[in-house]
């Protein structure tokens, strides 16, 4: 018995939408569940006006980032034009298609006040031939129903009266999505069509085309099983908007989400693994995933939850892996891939790999995204403290006690044993003298040394920077406030 044959068939018209990434993942799960499973990437690039080569690259590289391995492809739909044309000719010969020269205006004028949507079948029996203004329409039944067997939605029934004679090829000869997609799926012997719910209304049309091709070409190929994945919505429970919501998978990669965390999160969009745990190893997700268990209610794409999950994955990395995986954000001059539109705050000469290796465990505990590392550690490498002016004003310039705290710390730190525990103790003591609790006592020191009021654990950072450098910065901050 052969295994499931699935495909991911994106149109390269923009960034790689997170919803598309989820479709690709669910297809991939199905293919990887059985040894004979087969996963194809088909780039549906027939709409030349809307497609761009960079979007194709985006899809291919994002899929490879996510580890969605292919068994064949990427193929280009445009390379199959011959097969699409053969399909058209067979369907003309079988009488399933007819030529139509109606413009939209003409159809509307004929309808008058009748608001029935779609085409009225005017050209069905006019016997028009091929010409510069004739498109090809598919002759659909006038009555009865067609049922889409959807693994997620169950039996979805469509009355033929709501499906008009739709266009399959334009007057230019260009074959449209509905037919090109079916010809390719049929030729690729696709067994499961797994895609977003916006395609559900296409399914009955595509089933009719598939059956018509079977008859016209004299080759019976089993219809695929359908699974239409639930819509992704934002906080307001509205469909994710390309303009307003962060939907580009590429941007998650740039921000430093780990692909394994991203995949885990995508898997939860409409599905959940068994048990209480949401963080689940990939092998378990592959094993447990069932299309029948996918919900048909909209799934909330929750960026906060995704970030939280990423943080968990980041913390689970070994210290060595954390350093290695951070490299594109830390030492982009030495990596093959680097995030788009991001600059590291330091130069190659300023960066110190040995120091970073010691700093890394401190930040690994505190960040969710690898892209947040540079801002948190830049003070270790930059010759001038990267001051945040608002923080500086708050903790030092406009705070007399803060400045006193710095002056006393300079005295104490000159001779204290240089280890984080002793630095901690010294800070508590100096603070007590000024009636400051530890939080208040360390704020001006943190700001003087790191430039801001948030960052990695302070005393460990001081220890790593060394006495000379810390004293220099404490004095520098006092001078700056004068």
Show which residues are catalytic. 242
Within 13 Å and on the Cβ side, how many CA atoms surround 436?
27
Judged by CB under 6 A, the stretch of 9-17, 135-143, 362-370, 389-397 that binds ligand GLU is 9-17
Footprint on residues 142-181 left by ligand GLU (CB under 6 A): 181
Stretch that binds ligand GLU, among 7-15, 84-92, 136-144, 338-346 (CB under 6 A): 7-15
Binding segment for ligand GLU (CB under 6 A), chosen from 5-13, 275-283, 362-370, 407-415, is: 5-13
Site for ligand GLU in 317-336 (CB under 6 A): none
Q: Is 192 in the site for ligand GLU (CB under 6 A)?
A: no
CB 346 within 8 A of CB 378: yes
Q: Does 5 bind ligand GLU (CB under 6 A)?
A: no
Contact 151, 4 (CB under 8 A): no
Question: What are the structure tokens assigned to 69, written together?
Answer: 């391995």
Sign of dihedral through CA atoms 54, 58, 59, 63?
Answer: positive
Residues 313, 314, 315, 316, Cα dihedral to 10°: 50
Q: Which stretch binds ligand GLU (CB under 6 A): 8-16, 217-225, 356-364, 458-466?
A: 8-16
Q: Which is nearer to ligand GLU, 6 or 423 (CB)?
A: 6
Shortest gap between Cβ of 151 and ligand GLU (angstroms)? 15
Tokens of 438: 């530890």
Residues 199-258 that bind ligand GLU (CB under 6 A): 199
Smallest gap, in angstroms, from Cβ of residue 437 to ligand GLU?
A: 58
Identify any residues that bridge with 72 across adjacent strands, giving them in sequence order.
Answer: 40
Q: Using DSSP bridges, classify how beta strands 145-150 and 135-138 pair: parallel, antiparallel or unpaired.
A: unpaired
Instruction: Report in angstroms how near the CB of residue 207 gets to ligand GLU at its nearest.
Output: 12
Regarding 44 and contact with ligand GLU (CB under 6 A), the answer is: yes
Report the alpha-carbon distance of residue 26 to residue 2 in Å, rounded.
19
CA 186, chain centre distance (Å): 29
Candidate residues 4, 5, 6, 9; the one interacting with ligand GLU per rule CB under 6 A: 9
Q: CB–CB of 329/369 below 8 Å?
A: no
Cα angle: 51, vertex 57, 305; to 5 degrees: 100
> Measured from the CB atom, is 9 or 91 closer to ligand GLU?
9
Binding site for ligand GLU (CB under 6 A): 9-11, 44, 181, 193, 195, 199
């Amino acid at each position: 018995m052969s295994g499931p044959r699935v495909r991911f068939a994106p149109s390269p018209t923009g960034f790689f939408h997170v919803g598309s990434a989820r479709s690709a993942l669910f297809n991939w799960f199905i293919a990887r569940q059985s040894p004979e499973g087969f996963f194809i990437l088909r780039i549906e690039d027939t709409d030349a006006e809307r497609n761009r080569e960079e979007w194709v690259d985006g899809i291919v590289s994002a899929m490879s980032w996510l580890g969605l391995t292919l068994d064949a492809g990427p193929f280009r739909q445009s390379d199959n034009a011959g097969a699409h044309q053969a399909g058209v000719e067979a369907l003309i010969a079988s009488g399933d298609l007819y030529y139509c020269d109606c413009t939209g205006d003409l159809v509307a004028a004929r309808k008058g006040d009748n608001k029935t949507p779609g085409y009225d079948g005017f050209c069905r029996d006019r016997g028009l031939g091929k010409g510069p203004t004739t498109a090809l329409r598919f002759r659909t039944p006038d009555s009865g129903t067609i049922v889409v067997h959807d693994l997620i939605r169950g039996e979805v029934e469509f009355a033929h009266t709501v499906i008009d004679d739709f266009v399959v090829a334009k007057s230019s000869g260009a074959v449209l999505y509905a037919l090109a997609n079916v010809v390719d799926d049929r030729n690729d012997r696709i067994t499961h069509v797994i895609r977003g719910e916006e395609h559900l209304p296409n399914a009955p049309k595509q089933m009719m085309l598939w059956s018509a091709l079977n008859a016209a070409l004299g080759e019976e190929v089993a219809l695929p099983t359908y699974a239409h994945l639930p819509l992704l919505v934002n906080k307001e429970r509205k469909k994710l908007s390309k303009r307003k919501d962060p939907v580009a998978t590429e941007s998650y990669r740039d921000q430093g989400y780990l692909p394994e965390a991203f995949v885990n999160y995508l898997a939860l969009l409409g599905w959940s693994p068994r048990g209480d745990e949401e963080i689940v190893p990939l092998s378990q997700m592959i094993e447990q995933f069932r299309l029948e268990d996918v919900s048909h209610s909209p799934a909330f794409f929750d960026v906060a939850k995704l970030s939280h999950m990423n943080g968990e994955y980041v913390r689970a990395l070994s210290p060595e892996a954390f350093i290695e995986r951070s490299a594109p954000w830390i030492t982009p001059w030495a990596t093959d891939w680097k995030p788009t539109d991001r600059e590291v705050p330091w130069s190659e000469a300023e960066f110190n790999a040995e120091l970073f290796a010691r700093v890394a465990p401190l930040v690994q505990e505190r960040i969710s995204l690898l892209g947040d590392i540079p801002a948190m550690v830049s003070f270790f490498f930059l010759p001038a403290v990267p001051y945040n002016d608002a923080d500086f004003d708050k903790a030092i310039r406009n705070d007399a006690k803060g400045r006193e705290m710095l002056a006393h710390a300079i005295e104490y730190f000159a001779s204290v044993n240089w280890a984080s525990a002793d630095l901690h103790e010294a800070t508590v003591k100096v603070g007590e003298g000024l009636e400051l609790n530890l939080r208040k006592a360390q704020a001006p020191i943190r700001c003087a040394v790191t430039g801001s009021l948030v960052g990695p654990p302070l005393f460990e950072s001081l220890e790593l920077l060394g006495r000379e450098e810390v004293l220099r910065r404490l004095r520098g901050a006092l001078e700056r406030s004068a």
